[in-house]
Structure 1
Amino acid sequence: MLYRNLGRTGLKVSAIGLGTWVTFGGQIGDDVAGQIAEIAYENGVNVFDTAEVYAGGRAEIVLGNILRKKQWRRSSYVVMTKVYWGGRAPSEIGLSRKHIIEGVHGSLQRLQLEYVDVVFANQADPDADMEEIVRGFTQVINSGKALYWGTSRWSPSQIMEAYAVARQYNLIPPTVEQSEYNFFRREKVETDLVDVCGKTKCGIMTWSPLAGGMISGKYSDGIPVDSRADLKGFSWLKDKITSVQGRKQQARLMEVQIISDRLGCTLSQLAIAWCLRYSSNSSVLVGASTVEQIYENLKSINYLPSITKELSDEIDTVLQNAP
């Protein structure tokens, strides 16, 4: 496993992290989730990412039970969670100081932990003043319930505003931004965030390297039964894949598949290694619904040296979407 600093902090995180969205507490059973987490940990993964909203809190419960059962040293792994959608009541949604504090408290109860390593604001809150948000996360850290805080799906201007507020009031700024990044979602990470991170101490962590499975190659001939696009609540993904744009993307992926075949890896492995080619990308979060899938994803790290500038240019020529 390759390890990188989380932004400009001294914390070393695995270049591949395990995400729990969709899978833990939802798509897969608890036993399979435990096997996947164990395989990831034994192969060097030290990042486990979840959120209060995943499976209505069930993902945190499943992950917490796994960590309690395995009894790995707490200092040997990094747990990340996110707050924003905590419940149905108006006061249980958003980034008010009340929900930041209570959301983290609820996550810790479900995770059975005394603290999380990183807590993220799961999206920006237009109804909350930035000073309140930064003060809320600063309070969480000062109380020992989290070590760092970060942003997820924030715009560059919002990240800059958070840094300005932290500097003005001597508060703690965000450490890292979590953004979607893959063959078809590139511009924010490759242009906007690289610029922001150059001006601040904010790092980058990315998720959905396979675009919800779109880049796995399994949708080239339609929607397989029991795939993510076939799940209840994921009709949006099915519509995206079967749209005109989606069909064009699948056609281009067939050309990228030729490149992965030449390298001797799968399309998924090439896609994950491609996301890691930026050293400023601290960690790529991957999901897995089977033991075979987590093994396949973890082997992506072996193909990172193959992602040369020449190969990246070749992929850009096929995708035709470089920023």
Structure 2
Amino acid sequence: MAGLSLSNVRKSFGQTAIIHGVDLHIADGEFVVFVGPSGCGKSTLLRMIAGLESVSNGTIAIGGRDVTHLDPSGRGVAMVFQSYALYPHMSVRDNIGFGLRMNGVPRAEVDRKVAAAATALHLTELLDRRPKQLSGGQRQRVAIGRAIVRQPDVFLFDEPLSNLDAELRVQMRLEIARLHAELAATMIYVTHDQVEAMTLADKIVVLRAGSVEQAGTPLSLYDDPENLFVAGFIGSPRMNFLRAECGTDGMIRLPDHRNVIVPLTLAAAPQPGQDLLLGVRPEHFAPDEAVSLNLTVDLVEHLGGASYAYIGSGTAHPLTIEMRDARKVGRGTVLETSFDPTRAFLFDARTGDRLR
């Protein structure tokens, strides 16, 4: 296994820049997730690492070896795609071992590696079946097995669970996490689903419009987002943003909520009149905190263990409030709730920068 480094990596198609100078270090054995909205460049960046897209500028190194201009076969990577790309006329056994056989690996070694991969992926009893006899989750495990037998330096996953239903996605997340722990392999995983990112990653790289917005552990991004975009992207349901203002006295108020004061400790007070947004996560609302709000409920979703109240639907700044016991809350209820200002985040509404 090996670590990976990207230094000022850029990609352009003609005059259109897609990836803007990405610098990133991935340690040996680390599970890193590239996450971001559609079109942010995460799959393009992964394909550049794989060698399926050329690099316009910059350097990619795997295990300290410059692979920027090497063919995919010379990089020591194996890629698992969203589509399973299995040969329908071949058994599971032959699909997993196909690449090894094409490279002239002796049959006994192929059989040994296929058996080991099948054991790790719980496919041993399915080795003689063909893809049409498998579920979607089983087919994806076969595709992963095909990557495992190559014993690559780096595993690359491009939205591998997108074709699965919700229950299978949860199951496969657990399988991939277990596999990473067993193999201690360097893995890079692309998804638009921040829940997948939070549950799988050692490190999350948040991308937007071809640039890295922030990189760090899942909880560091959740607890300490650098900007408005990361704050809104990490967390499910997403963070609430309330319109805020700074008065001439330096106090932060919420004009849409009776100008209630939010006592924040900042290194420097914002400018009076500056457009601000205050971020509060749905799960951080609770009774008896310092900042109280009265909110009229539009809709409540009862999910059993938790309920979500939706306020201000259709407005510029709708709110979602998580509650543990909401049996008496319904449409039209005036909800009395509050939050701890030490768990809130303040942002410049124009630039998106975090104000600390």
Q: Normalising to structure 1: TM-score of the pair?
A: 0.30
More helix by share: 1
More strand by share: 2
Q: Normalising to structure 2: TM-score of the pair?
A: 0.28
Instruction: Identify which of structures 1 and 2 has the higher relative contact order when contacts are C-alpha pairs closer than 8 Å and 6+ apart.
Output: 1
